[in-house]
Amino acid sequence: EGEAEAEWLQDAGLSNLLGEHASENDNLVLLSTLTKTQAAAVQRRLDTYSRSRRRRNKQPVRDVRDIFGVGSSEVSSFRIQLTRIACQMPPYSCQGFILPDLGHLVVLVCVGKNNIFWFLFQETAADKEVPSKDQLWHSLRTSSVQRNSQDYSCTVRNTGREEAFNMDVAYSEQAAVLLKGSFLPESRRLKDGNALTKFKIPKGRLGVTRIGDLSAQDMKKIPTLALIELTALCDILGFELKRNKAAKLKTTEKRLFGVPLNTLLENDQKLLPNTKVPLLLQALLSCLEKRGLETEGILRVSGSQTRIKSLEQKLERDFYTGLFRWDEVHQNDVSGLLKRFIRELPAPLLTAEYLPAFAAVQNIPDLKQRLQALNLLILILPEPNRNTLKALLEFLSKVVARENNNKMNLWNVSTVMAPNLFMHKGLPNKIPEGKEKQLAEGAADVVRMMIHYQDLLWTVSSFLVAQVRKLNESSSRRYQFCDKRIRNLLRKIHADKDKVEKSQAEVALPSFYLAQPSKTVKVHASLLLKDSLEVHLNNATRVADVLKQALFTSLCFSSYSNNSVDCTNLLLYEVGGNIGEHCLDPDTYLLDLYHINPHAEWIIK
């Protein structure tokens, strides 16, 4: 007991809270960034772990007969018969006992997180039957634990209409607010992709951050924060976040099929540095995109198993030499190789640890909350798995876009690909009898959402970016100067600098500008200009405006500008301060960003 909680705290970056000499001091940086619901999720796991460690020294549980003072002699004389009843009254675990020789006294003992209490009932002479679980539950439930059972299939609302997908507030906090209201009355599963709700991420003043916009250093902090947030969300929704232990990978003599993703990428990067998706998968997808998107039944129609096995052997021998001829391969055989490559991975593409969590997403009744959970799960995935999954989903989206020719709609593609992602030979598949169809449809529904909403799912929520900034700020405080004289000197220099800048601004700007919040900053644009670009920021200045200004200035000084630079792909990066490196959304308002991170440099790349 407590092993799962210990592993969770380890993965959440809170391992220092474990052990006899646990201290919060080493985790203050991370804990200080958590929201109320996230902190509650951490506290729950820590309490469970602490209780499990104390269990060995715990006093034996008193028998219910001892509570009411019935001794051993009285037991024999009264011939007490105890009938045990179990029921659930969240958040309490309840055990009921019937004492027939004491006038059918009903005792219900309820054990909660911090307390234990019991109810006493006296049956009437006309009713000597043992009460059922339903009767006990009906008698004892209170308004604080009333929750109607629901059909946990996809809730579809406002179909055909665009709906906002809020990423500024933590998902668990949103769920906690909704929990105080009422749930949607009905939920139903739709197989028609066209009927799915359209979601749009409202762009705040700081724009939207996609996966890949943050530096590798900052992205390493995201999985830990996403795991804590996902756990908090599941706690609010009343779902258990199931995780498997990491699978032990077996060594193989093969070079392509059945090789771990990390090993594949290490080998590929020796040929092509910075490769993020295995070269074999890239080749398979490229071949299908060129000649297979229009093929009727692509992915669904099986190729020849004999030819596929032969092709696998040829690829193992000739792929890296460049001698393999893709133009001679039948498209259905290529699609078979694609599915074989995914199935043969030593560990599932969705990882052994989180495959149960991906599968459990189907049990969340609300579509938006399903997507919130999926978004967090994708952020938790290791980078090789996440990049490979994205490449696969982008291809599947292209297949669906050619539905009129290949007869493969979103549901068909999802149904075909789901077994390759959710069924793995290295993991036990314990499917309850009679649940096969339901679980298969549920897995296909998760794949359908990942294909249809992949742009939304590959977004880093604003609240997570804000937590990364807080982590960086708190970490930097640890390395501040200890010498007070040096710190005071730096403060004086900084204060004097601000005074000079303020006086210069007052001289240079008309009086009506002074009423508006403004700032003049330097943007490094060495690709375009010899000197830094001075930019005057106001409430309306966006990243796109600065890029236009840089291009215009570059054209004015064309003698220096680098003609080899593709000006259409220029981007503005925020570097340093409370962020490692951040590629900015063109709609980011720079004055707002400056106030959040005043010590950053801005660089055009």
For a pLDDT cut of 90, what percent of the chain falls above it? 46
- Residue 409 neighbours by CB under 8 Å, 6+ apart: 193, 400, 403
E strand or H helix at 601: strand 601-604
Dist. CA 533–CA 522, nearest whole Å: 5
Q: Which of 376, 364, 360, 13 is nearest to 229 (CA)?
A: 376
Mean pLDDT across the stretch 509-517?
Answer: 46
For residues 414 and 450, the answer to whether their CB atoms sit within 8 Å is no
Sign for the pseudo-dihedral over CA of 30, 34, 38, 40: positive
pLDDT digit string (tens) for 151-197?
Answer: 333 444 455 578 999 999 999 999 999 887 655 434 444 454 456 88
pLDDT at 467: 96
Dist. CA 9–CA 290, nearest whole Å: 47
- Residue 39 neighbours by CB under 8 Å, 6+ apart: 31
For residues 245 and 352, the answer to whether their CB atoms sit within 8 Å is yes
| Position 58 pLDDT exceeds 70 | no
| 109: confidence class by pLDDT, cuts 50, 70, 90 | low
Dist. CA 599–CA 574, nearest whole Å: 10
Sign for the pseudo-dihedral over CA of 253, 276, 278, 407: positive
| 97: confidence class by pLDDT, cuts 50, 70, 90 | low
Alpha helices in 322-433 (DSSP H): 331-343, 355-360, 367-380, 383-401, 403-406, 410-422
CATH number at 261-460: 1.10.555.10
Q: Where are the beta strands (DSSP E) in 390-514?
A: 459-460
Dist. CA 67–CA 100, nearest whole Å: 17
| Position 406 pLDDT exceeds 50 | yes
| Position 585 pLDDT exceeds 60 | yes
Specify the range with the lowest mean pLDDT, choosing from 82-96, 395-409, 455-469.
82-96
Q: Where are the domains of the chain?
A: 1-56, 261-460
For residues 299 and 408, the answer to whether their CB atoms sit within 8 Å is yes
252 exposure class (CB count in 10 Å sphere: 0-12, 13-18, 19+)? middle
For residues 448 and 193, the answer to whether their CB atoms sit within 8 Å is yes
Q: Tokens standing for 508?
A: 């240079």
Lay out the sheet containing 116-122: strands in order across: 83-89, 92-99, 105-111, 116-122
| Position 139 pLDDT exceeds 50 | no
For residues 96 and 107, the answer to whether their CB atoms sit within 8 Å is yes
| 327: confidence class by pLDDT, cuts 50, 70, 90 | confident
Burial 104-121 (b: 16+ CB within 10 A, else e): bbbbbbbeeeeeeebeee
| 50: confidence class by pLDDT, cuts 50, 70, 90 | confident
Q: How far is CA 429 from CA 130, 349, 447, in A?
A: 39, 16, 18
The amino acid occupying position 487 is: R
Dist. CA 68–CA 56, nearest whole Å: 26
Q: Tokens standing for 592?
A: 């707002």
| Position 13 pLDDT exceeds 90 | no
